[in-house]
Amino acid sequence: MKPQNPETRSILAAEYVLGTLHGQARRRFEHWMKSDPALRREVGRWEARLNPLCDTLPAVQPGPAVWKSIEARINPSREAAAAEKTTWLGSLAFWRWTSFASAGLASVLLAFVVVSTGPSDVAGPEEAMVVVMEDPETRNPSISVAWSPEGRGKPKLRIRVIGHAEMAPGTAWELWALPEGNQPPRSLGFINTHETQWVEVPEELRHQLNKAAGMAMSLEPEGGSPTGRPSGPVLASGKCLKI
């Protein structure tokens, strides 16, 4: 039986963090945590309280083999990735051309581009910038963004939300441009759950927008990231393509 008493819950959370809760009891506690956000928060508070104990430990540098193994495991196709190393989203594990070439996504993209040459500042059908953002977990395309690299005035991003998206109350989806190299992400505005929508971007961002390596969307508190950088989980991201 899961305890309801706040005192008992707090001490169990503390013993979980401390590590003295083990075996069956530990597994059971982990199971409770999955469906109990308040319990997870209590665990988080204990982690924050006790974590400074680790500051007492003098650092021990790992041998070079450790990083080599990690690198090989997060990047199964290193040769191919090496060619892209200088770009933001330069990991093949992340951006899979195989999935991009899949018929389903290609038709989504095509339909999208055809529609996007409607009444807008899109100069013509000859050139457009497109980002198809994927859910980082499932690799399914979830949002696409397109705009015309030419034109005057504020660039208008045409956003399409793929599938039936739901947004938790009190949260916001913030769209970010990911510049080439080591520059920090730049906020472009907010996305709602409507299937088709437009986001206007300040004119001075046009150049940066056209040069962006990719885009990402993060989950933020209502009103946007308090830090000016993505602060919550990344819900979708993808690479910019000129077509």
DSSP 232: S
How distant, in Å, are the alpha carbons of 93, 163, 218, 235 from that of 172? 28, 18, 8, 11
Can you tell me the distance from the alpha carbon of 28 to that of 237, in angstroms, rounded to the nearest whole number? 35
Contacting other proteins within 60-119 (CB under 8 A): 60-63, 65-67, 69-71, 73-75, 81, 85, 88-91, 93-95
Q: Cβ of residue 1: shortest distance to other proteins, in angstroms?
A: 20
Beta strands in the chain (DSSP E): 129-134, 141-147, 156-161, 171-178, 186-191, 196-200, 214-221, 234-242
Pull the structure tokens for residue 183: 């520059």
CA 21-26-28 angle, 5° bins? 140
Asked whether 204 and 217 are in contact (CB, 8 A), the reply is: no
| Residue 168 in contact with other proteins, rule: CB under 8 A | no
Backbone angles phi, psi at 17, to 5 degrees: -65, -40
| Residue 139 in contact with other proteins, rule: CB under 8 A | no
- Binding residue (CB under 8 A) for other proteins from 11, 33, 105, 205: 11
Minimum CB distance to other proteins smaller for 30 or for 127? 30
Q: Which stretch binds other proteins (CB under 8 A): 99-107, 155-163, 195-203, 210-218?
A: 210-218
Minimum CB distance to other proteins smaller for 116 or for 218? 218
- Binding residue (CB under 8 A) for other proteins from 5, 34, 35, 59: 59
Q: Cβ of residue 14: shortest distance to other proteins, in angstroms?
A: 4
- For the chain, the distance separating the N- and C-terminal CA atoms, rounded to the nearest angstrom, is 58
Q: Are strands 129-134 and 141-147 parallel, antiparallel or unpaired?
A: antiparallel
Q: Which stretch binds other proteins (CB under 8 A): 16-24, 101-109, 113-121, 193-201?
A: 16-24
Minimum CB distance to other proteins smaller for 87 or for 210? 87
Which residues here bind other proteins, judged by CB under 8 A?
10-11, 14-15, 17-20, 22-23, 41, 44, 47-63, 65-67, 69-71, 73-75, 81, 85, 88-91, 93-95, 136-137, 178, 182, 184-185, 214, 216, 218, 221, 226-235, 237
